Amino acid sequence: MDNHNDASTELLNKVRHCSLCAAHLPLGPRPILQWHPQARILIAGQAPGRKAHDAGLPFADASGERLRGWMGLTAEQFYNPQLVAILPMGFCFPGTGKSGDLPPRPECAPAWRQTLLKPLKQLQLTIVIGQYAQAYHLPTAQPSVTHTVASWQDYWPDIIPLPHPSPRNNIWLKRNPWFAEQLLPKLQARVKQVLLLKLQ
């Protein structure tokens, strides 16, 4: 293993042993992320849900199935860290509140995000999911996730904003048919283009 790989492994180990906000995590620290410096696509999400926590795997739930369908990726492609990095805004399951999962822990992004983003020199596409990741990753603020996603052409082709693929958003998807009709075909074509580049 060369120095570059040593440094990457060491960084990942450090993240996986993080307990910075342990006092606020109902199930304790269990950072769930997928990362490799060669990744071509970054999925910037919110925080792992309970199923992902239990499985120790990002998007190991209905949201993940939908997201893979949106992107046109097989599970094998999606879980290949040399193709896809998955960095939620909070790496550990934050617990559940009255209306779903709690927001990502605010300690996480300041502690880790820049350190993990900086080595991703091969990134061609960042998929930014939900309000917390959009607030962090997008250069222009919009009043809501709906406005941000509807303005997807402003960020094209390096960044694509998406709503959360959770079944909780089924009503949003019904109310916004343009998303499936216009944006999803573009997303799939862009993902394919980026991954073909990787294979050349």
The partner residues of 87 in beta bridges, in order of sequence, read 44
**DSSP assigned state of 23:** G
Asked if residue 182 binds ligand SF4 (CB under 6 A), the reply is no
Among 8, 11, 12, 21, binds ligand SF4 (CB under 6 A): 21
**DSSP assigned state of 109:** I
Asked if residue 111 binds ligand SF4 (CB under 6 A), the reply is yes
Asked if residue 50 binds ligand SF4 (CB under 6 A), the reply is no
Asked if residue 107 binds ligand SF4 (CB under 6 A), the reply is yes
- Whose CA is closest to 127, among 184, 174, 178, 77? 184
Q: Helix, strand, coil % (nearest 5) of the chain?
A: 50, 10, 40
Cα atoms in the 13 Å half-sphere on the side-chain side of 137: 28
Among 8, 11, 12, 29, binds ligand SF4 (CB under 6 A): 29
Segment 53 to 92, residues that bind ligand SF4, using CB under 6 A = 90-92
Among 36, 40, 53, 105, binds ligand SF4 (CB under 6 A): 105
Stretches 12-20, 63-71, 79-87, 133-141: which one binds ligand SF4 (CB under 6 A)? Answer: 12-20
Q: Spell out the residues 6+ positions from residue 16 whose beta carbon is closer than 8 angstroms to its own.
A: 31
CB of 25 to ligand SF4, least distance (A): 6
Cα atoms in the 13 Å half-sphere on the side-chain side of 93: 20
Among 6, 7, 14, 19, binds ligand SF4 (CB under 6 A): 19
Instruction: Report d(CA 119, CA 171) in Å as an integer.
Output: 38
Among 11, 12, 20, 62, binds ligand SF4 (CB under 6 A): 20
Instruction: Report d(CA 90, CA 29) in Å as an integer.
Output: 11
Q: How many residues bind ligand SF4 (CB under 6 A)?
A: 14
Using CB under 6 A, list all residues that contact ligand SF4: 18-22, 29, 31, 90-92, 105, 107-108, 111
